[in-house]
Structure 1
Amino acid sequence: MVTQDLKKFETPVFPFTAIVGQEEMKLALQLNVIDPKIGGVMIMGDRGTGKSTTIRAIADLLPEITIVKDDPFNSHPTDLDLMGNDVKQSIINGEKLQNDFIKIPMIDLPLGATEDRVCGTIDIEKALTEGIKAFEPGLLAKANRGLLYVDEVNLLDDHLVDILLDSAASGWNTVEREGISIRHPARFVLVGSGNPEEGELRPQLLDRFGMHAEIRTVKDPILRVKVVEERTSFDQNPNLWIENYAEEQSKLRDNIVNAQNLLADVTIGYELRVKISEVCSKLDVDGLRGDIVTNRAAKAYAAYNGRQEVTVNDIAKIITLCLRHRLRKDPLETIDSGSKVDKVFKEIFELD
């Protein structure tokens, strides 16, 4: 009986709609949840500005997902791109699979994690002696169809960052040991955070993140008091606090789900696409990732607002988040706050 009660107990999560300020970070997270193909978000800012709280809050806000019961990869029951090989094989064999509902996975990647811990390992001995592909899933398997959060990503080994970014971009993780290869789905929203004082990521790695949000410590004393009061009230009576925000949480959840469903129907006019590429060209953005991400993010923002056609205002809202981290050519340079992107955007789009 005690064990069942413990299973029911869940640590209360601070409501996403109760978070004061930090609009850039909140917007970037919402857009990546609507369209994970944007490519994740890098959040840089001061210590103690609620980065971890906000990321846990967005994961808690989202509706539950359907998975194949007891599957280590959170496989989707019908979508082939989101299921592991064992589930595919079971479906081919005509086996009846049980479904289950879980909260969106939110996986924290510890700073000292090894490659085996992240990617998973293959039991070579079992493979050689018994001929079985014995795979021990890693954090990428657990993060499938969810969020993977890396705090202090700028202190993580570049090789591991590369693996994370490759998996996030391709949606698959491949583990190879001694000629044995295992591949499984790894579709997740990669969220990295860090403090600029501890160093930036290399420009090549930074460019792989879809969006870059900056957060600063709130300076306004009245707003600071409000943040402290809200947090204190939540800590004293979390269940009541969650209840107070239930309606707002439900409304935002519906907005995100509706946007996910609408996204495929959203279009962006040819002229606007040309102007986005003009902005990227004038800013000397390397490659075409900036163009692609800006187009995707603008569509996601239009969908979030319930529209099927992207407007100039949609682009204005997201273009800085998509391009500011792609301007740095020298690793010793600091990232532009957004003024350069904003200036060129207004010139090209002929805005005041």
Structure 2
Amino acid sequence: MRKSFPFSAIVGQSEMKQALLMAAVEPRLGGVMVFGDRGTGKSTAVRALAALLPPMKVVPGCRYGCAPDDSTTCFEGCRERAGKRTEAASVPFVDLPLGATEDRVVGSLDLERALATGEKRFEPGLLAKANRGFLYIDEINLLEDHLVDLLLDVAVSGQNVVEREGLSIRHPARFILVGSGNPEEGELRPQLLDRFGLSVDVRTPTDIADRIEIVKRCDAFDRDPEGFCAAYEGDEHAVLDQIAAARKKLPKVDVPDSILELGTRLCQAVGADGLRGELTLLRAARATAALAGKKHVLPAHVGAVATLALRHRMRKNVLDDTGSTARIERAVAELIPA
């Protein structure tokens, strides 16, 4: 099996890596949208993070990768049949193709079995395979709108409900949704973009030294994947330890009322629509504090995630030709003095 490019070996793109780390620590953030130029390492970073995470415990034989300690009942009874037995499995990474049908995504009746035996049996789709892992959609702005609506609803609820062909199925589908695309090929509808927790802008590096280093590392990985990964093994363990420590600390991180007020004032200052911005600011700032090993969320943590959490929730101001990022940075500078 071909190794994935090490997460710690990715040059630059600090905003994208920060967003993915926060999503790995706090899945309730609602996923990450990465817009930017082609060939900037978007899918590489997501695959690298999924490969970096330690194997997870699953119920043996379960087609949905259910956790042994999950309190909900698997409708196929896998947990009851397995008893206390468990097995290890890699964190799922599912790449959803643009041409995928709704049946392929949500699952459908197993026609071959139905024709052969007359038995109605559900054939899980891509959402089932992505349970407890990552669901990656490249060029999500080109995906059919009804599929995007379906994916976002499942990502929020954590369950996939299938009512068709005489079947009534409800199975777990908790995954970190990561979408990427090139704005030149079409924008994502604002009401759908708003459902993503974090939004990242990725651009082609302009620094000559960075570009040279990227080419050198990609070439070295292609020539000797085993040796290249071995060279970054220590750095990968450091990232993994950071994620594990942050997950453990996250429930204990305190968020003072003053931080909640700061988040509200920031959302009002930039004109963010709805209240998802404030909730995302809270979760992102808490994840950032946990990654930094802090016990309390500080104003600096809110400022660090403000752009990621709010840039895609702002209306365009015809009287202000500056971009959303500049407007957020200006509001942060006013509300959170250095």
Give the TM-score range, shorter chain: over 0.9
1:339 aligns with 2:329: no
Compute the RMSD of aligned alpha carbons.
2.3
On the 8 A contact 2:109/2:165 being kept in 1, the answer is no
1:317 aligns with 2:272: no
* Cα deviation, residue 42, structure 1: 0.2
**Match of residue 238 from structure 1:** 225
**Match of residue 38 from structure 1:** 29
Instruction: Determine which of 54, 63, 69 is the counterpart of 1:72.
Output: 63
Q: Distance in 1 between matches of 2:175 and 2:316?
A: 28
Cα separation, partners in 2 of 1:95 and 1:155, compared to 1, 3 Å: closer
Aligned residue identity for 2:200: A
Q: Distance in 1 between matches of 2:56 and 2:323?
A: 38
* Cα deviation, residue 128, structure 1: 12
**Is the partner of 2:288 in helix, strand or coil?**
helix
Matches within 5 A, 1:1-352: 10-81=1-72, 84-87=74-77, 90-91=79-80, 96=83, 98-123=85-110, 133-178=120-165, 180-328=167-315, 336-349=323-336, 351=337
Superimposed CA distance per residue, residues 181-206 of structure 1 (whole angstroms, 9 cap, x where no aligned partner): 10000000000000010011010000
On the 8 A contact 1:124/1:177 being kept in 2, the answer is no
Cα separation, partners in 2 of 1:248 and 1:182, compared to 1, 3 Å: same
Aligned residue identity for 2:123: E
**Is the partner of 2:161 in helix, strand or coil?**
strand
**Is the partner of 1:192 in helix, strand or coil?**
strand
Aligned residue identity for 1:255: Q
Q: Which moved more, 1:242-251 or 1:340-349?
A: 340-349
Normalized against structure 2, the TM-score is what? 0.94
* Cα deviation, residue 157, structure 1: 0.4
Cα separation, partners in 2 of 1:223 and 1:176, compared to 1, 3 Å: same
On the 8 A contact 1:327/1:335 being kept in 2, the answer is no
Q: Distance in 2 between matches of 1:31 and 1:144?
A: 18
Superimposed CA distance per residue, residues 80-126 of structure 1 (whole angstroms, 9 cap, x where no aligned partner): 25x632247x53xx762531111110000001001100000135897
Q: Distance in 1 between matches of 2:191 and 2:114?
A: 37
Aligned residue identity for 1:60: A
Q: Distance in 1 between matches of 2:101 and 2:55?
A: 30
Q: Percent identity?
A: 47
Q: Distance in 1 between matches of 2:322 and 2:57?
A: 40
**Is the partner of 2:68 in helix, strand or coil?**
coil
Cα separation, partners in 2 of 1:118 and 1:95, compared to 1, 3 Å: closer
* Cα deviation, residue 265, structure 1: 0.5
Q: Distance in 2 between matches of 1:106 and 1:335?
A: 37
Q: Distance in 2 between matches of 1:335 and 1:59?
A: 36
Structure 2: gaps of 5 or more residues:
none
